[in-house]
Amino acid sequence: MSKRPDNLESVLLCMELLQRIPRHRKVTASDLWEQLKGVGIERELRTIQRQLEILSEHFEIERDDRSKPYGYRWLEQAKGFSVPNLTPQESLLLRLAEEYLNNLLPASLMKSMQGFFEQAKRKLAPDSNAKLEREWSKKVRVVATSQPLLPPKIASGVFEIVSEALYNNQWLNLNYRNAGGKQSAIEVMPLGLAQQGANLYLVARFRGHDNERSLALHRIISAELSTLRFERPKEFDLQTYDDEGRFGFGDGKRIRLTFRINRNRGNHLLETPLSADQKVVELEDDQLEITAAVVDSGMLEWWLRGFGDAVSNVRRRAVAKA
């Protein structure tokens, strides 16, 4: 019987491993086994170990065998593994993904993609013929909607551990300092990660509770990955959590908001309404009366106060739940 299918599977497995071996840190066979399992590639751990031994003999891959489990990484000057037919357009997409999705993808995934990112950089290098694609990255930008702030410092290793726990549905043990400065040890179930302006927030449930809270990553002093896994709650949805204004310091309570605003300050609300049911009445003295169903939150209050004397007659009425 032909051995071609087995040989083909071995080649594909080698390609997957070569793509996932990082350059700036070491990875173990167990780490790679978990990564492959996460994308639906089921192999025995011993098979992964055997393939890594072979790859380290034929590629510029360092094997740290001073202690078990062995660690593997590409040598600093190694070219690594890349897909030869990466087009300029694909390279551009990868460069944009690296820049804008860096904090929204699992750290392990970003590191496993490092070889592709580096190939994309070479493809778009000044001496390449991808002139138009290289120029495109200078033609687009995500701009701030409020006063830009420098991102707060996140303790070393925290983002990597938090994103790994979120990706693998594992409990987290955190040493956390809240906004008031109180420090405590907590065990949480990570459910979501969100970037709001310069800040990153982890949405999580505390052990023994069934409600969610937002924890600022820069307030996590240290993080430890638990060996315990959990079943992700089916009733939790990150989009709903956001829609309820939870990132805007609200509790999901919806109100019908009515206020008056000077036309010069509120004219943009005719183009970008507060809600789909927003209604606008033009009044005398160059005033607009705005009515819209919104989520009541601290962010809404700050937004209204930001207009100063241009906003008046603010009224709130509770909206019955559907």
> What's the CATH code of the domain at 289?
3.30.70
Q: Does the pLDDT of residue 288 top 90, yes or no?
A: yes
Task: Give the closest residue to 218 by CA, choosing from 239, 187, 246, 195.
Answer: 195
213, 168: one domain: yes
255 and 238 inside one domain: no
Whether omega before 69 lies within 30 degrees of 0, making that bond cis, reads: yes
- What is the distance in angstroms between the CA of the first residue and the CA of the last residue of the chain? 64
Give the separation between CA 161 and CA 38, rounded to whole angstroms: 16
β-sheet with 183-196: strand ranges across = 212-216, 199-206, 183-196, 170-177, 220-229
In the predicted model, is pLDDT for residue 83 greater than 60?
Answer: no
Q: What is the pLDDT of residue 100?
A: 75
Q: Are residues 117 and 52 part of one domain?
A: no
pLDDT band at 85 (very low <50, low <70, confident <90, very high): low
Domain shared by 175 and 213, yes or no: yes
Angle at 314 between CA 312 and CA 317, to 5 degrees: 165
User: What pLDDT is recorded for position 204?
Assistant: 96
Percent of the chain with pLDDT over 70: 91
272 in a structural domain? yes
Residue 191 lies in a domain: yes
251 located within any domain: yes
Number of domains observed in the structure of the chain: 4
In the predicted structure, residue 3 carries a pLDDT above the cut 50: no
| Sequence-ordered alpha helix ranges (H) in 75-130 | 88-100, 107-112, 114-123
Report whether pLDDT(15) > 90.
no
Q: 126: number of CA atoms within 13 Å, CB side?
A: 0
5 pLDDT higher than 50: no
Note the pLDDT tens digit of each residue in 191-244.
999 988 888 899 999 999 999 999 999 999 999 999 999 999 999 999 888 888
Looking at every residue in the chain, the average pLDDT score rounds to: 85
Tokens encoding 56: 């380290």
The tokens for 182 are 């109180």
pLDDT value of position 75: 83
Which range, 33-47, 137-151, 193-207, is most confident?
193-207
pLDDT classification of 119: cutoffs 50, 70, 90: confident
Residue scoring higher pLDDT (10 or 268)? 268
When pLDDT is averaged across residues 250-271 and rounded to a whole number, the result is: 91
DSSP-H helix ranges across the chain: 4-20, 29-38, 45-58, 88-100, 107-112, 114-123, 131-136, 158-168, 238-243, 263-266, 298-305
Q: Tell whether 252 and 239 lie within a shared domain.
A: no
Q: Is residue 38 domain-resident?
A: yes
What is the domain range of residue 128? Answer: 88-136
Residue 144 maps to a domain: no
pLDDT in tens, 88-117: 777 777 777 777 777 777 676 677 677 677
Same-domain status, 68 and 101: no
Tell me what pLDDT residue 80 has.
Answer: 57
The model's pTM is 0.63
pLDDT at 231: 94
Strands (E), 230-278: 250-262
* Amino acid making up residue 151: P
Q: What are phi and psi of 106, to 5 degrees?
A: -55, 135
Query: Are residues 68 and 114 both part of a single domain?
Result: no
Report helix, strand or coil for 264. helix
Residue 9, domain member (yes or no): yes
Q: What's the rounded mean pLDDT across residues 288-313?
A: 92
The pLDDT score that the predictor gives to residue 109 is: 66
The pLDDT of residue 258 is above 50: yes
Distance CA 172, CA 157 (A): 13
Checking if the pLDDT of 178 tops 80, the result is: yes
